[in-house]
Amino acid sequence: MESTTAHLITGAADLIAAFLFMYGLKRMSSPVSAPSGIRVAGYGMLLAVAASFLNVFTVDAAAKPHLWINLGLALVALLLGASAAWFKGRSVAMTEMPQMVAIYNGLGGGAAGAIAAVELFGSKTHGAGQLVMTLLGGLIGAISMSGSAIAWAKLDELLKKPMRFPGQRLVNALVFLASLGIGGYIVFVTQSGATPMLPMASVLWIFFGTTLLFGILMTLPIGGADMPVVISIYNAATGLAVGFDGYVIQEPALMIAGMVVGAAGTLLTLLMAKAMNRSVSNVLFSNFGEAGKKKRSAMKGEEKPVDASDAGIAMRYAKSVIIIPGYGLAVAQAQEKLYEFVKLLQSSGVSIKFAIHPVAGRMPGQMDVLLAEAGVPYDLIEQLEDINDGFATTDVALVIGANDVVNPSARTDKSSPIFGMPILNADKAKKCYVVKRGQGKGYSGIENELFYEDNTYMVYGDAQAVLVKMIEAVRGLGSAAA
């Protein structure tokens, strides 16, 4: 095949793929059309990947002798990577979805970084503009890869605590400046034709080394509950890196897809930060949680424990219940038991809604996915701004595994680290039950005023066990009545 023909076909295939990606994402604006949306985007991907092999007809003269080996390597890598990730993605538990998204995102960042590395090691860039874009693609891709790897380790609880040490921010800043400096040095040496202090390959290894190190250092101090922001940021970062790579290898499909994802990730990042009433830089650099430990105001009243079965029966006789799930529900894997309980209440005529806080869980929308997995119809699931006024006219608010997102001190206590964060108004319901593993504090280490309110009752125990007791109690009632 002529190389011009090959270019024509790959060009057309990539154009169609870019269109299908945009169209597919557009279809995500409703749960009804979304499944077809991802399929449409999938066809685009298959088309683009198949067409990319036509590049065997367009390779550089220098690469011609290696063409068969390279082609073989490409096919092996493609099949190996795709089948392993496919298998894992199909079998992983829904509660582990944040980890999976972090991994796949890290893979993409790594691929983007590696492409930049191939261009740099092969000295294939032309001109300062392209070189800078390549370095940026490599920098952002590498940070996204190592950062996502740490995020994955945190989400998978391999790393349990945020790692913090004195002067951490200074060290991080220095490492980042070092990678920027080395990048600048590479541009200077290449453009001026000066001889580098070390062989160019070594300089490049150091560049990627410091960049990877920065991704690790930057993510280590960030706490688990801030993961929704972090995952969104790395999603945006990988998108940007892919976009820059697209410019470098002159592939507009990568530029467009990368930028669209960059925009998506940025939007989600800002939404998440807004839902915590914190700036993005505050999430990344403030070592959140330390502030809460300093001040511990004495709470009025005391926590009133109540038996799970009593709480279950009380809800059976309520008219309306709003359920507020949090990360604790995911940890206890109790989503299916919860829906069983909900169906039981519904069959007794209780009106049920779920209220989801934007940052509940470890990634944007995690609670929605867990409830969907359990079979909860999405028309029962309401977001914060839609349901918050409804609490005042609701009999019972049932909080399961959530803490900071229902803490009323966010409304009133100016000294609270979460002051100003929009919260779910569980305290405005006539009665509030809180299912909690123990008397500990939330992630942020802040006392929760809600637990001490007159109309709040605490149900201690593992969410799964508590729900089983509630179900049994309500079932027992049913048979007694019959």
Partner 1 sequence: MQFDMAITGFVAMYIFMLAAFGGWVIIGNVPAILHTPLMSGSNFVHGIVVIGGIMALLNASTVTEQVIGFFAVLLGAGNAAGGYAVTDRMLAMFKTSGHQPALIHARHPAKKS
276 binds partner 1 (CB under 8 A): no
Contact pick of 1, 63, 158, 171 for partner 1 (by CB under 8 A) = 63
Contact pick of 16, 19, 104, 285 for partner 1 (by CB under 8 A) = 104
201 binds partner 1 (CB under 8 A): yes
Distance of CA 239 to the CA centre of its chain: 14
Residue 100 CB coordination number (10 Å): 19
Contact pick of 60, 166, 294, 482 for partner 1 (by CB under 8 A) = 60
Number of residues that bind partner 1 (CB under 8 A): 137
Given 368, 404, 427, 462, which residue is catalytic?
Answer: 404
Contact pick of 158, 267, 299, 392 for partner 1 (by CB under 8 A) = 267
420 binds partner 1 (CB under 8 A): no
Least distance (Å) between residue 173 CB and partner 1: 28
Cross-strand bridge partners of residue 460: 436
Q: Which span sits near partner 1 by CB under 8 A: 27-35, 214-222, 297-305, 450-458? A: 27-35
Residues 216-235 that bind partner 1 (CB under 8 A): 231-232, 235
Tokens (6 digits) for 276 = 């915590």
CA atoms within 13 A on the CB side of 263: 7
Residues 153-172 that bind partner 1 (CB under 8 A): none
Tokens (6 digits) for 114 = 């590696």
321 binds partner 1 (CB under 8 A): no
The yes-or-no answer on residue 404 being catalytic is yes
315 binds partner 1 (CB under 8 A): no
Q: Residue 78: helix, strand or coil by DSSP?
A: helix
80 binds partner 1 (CB under 8 A): yes
Q: Residue 421: helix, strand or coil by DSSP?
A: coil
Contact pick of 125, 179, 190, 366 for partner 1 (by CB under 8 A) = 366
Distance of CA 285 to the CA centre of its chain: 18
Residue 271 CB coordination number (10 Å): 15
Q: State which amino acid sits at residue 419.
A: F
Least distance (Å) between residue 446 CB and partner 1: 25
364 binds partner 1 (CB under 8 A): yes
Helix axes 168-192 and 200-219, enclosed angle (nearest 10): 160
Q: Which span sits near partner 1 by CB under 8 A: 58-66, 166-174, 176-184, 452-460? A: 58-66
Tokens (6 digits) for 431 = 């009665």
Q: Which span sits near partner 1 by CB under 8 A: 375-383, 410-418, 421-429, 431-439? A: 375-383
34 binds partner 1 (CB under 8 A): yes
Contacts 24+ apart (CB under 8 A), 175-184: 175/210, 175/213, 175/214, 175/217, 176/214, 176/218, 178/210, 179/139, 179/207, 179/210, 179/211, 179/214, 180/139, 182/206, 182/207, 182/210, 183/135, 183/136, 183/139, 183/207
Contact pick of 16, 19, 22, 419 for partner 1 (by CB under 8 A) = 22
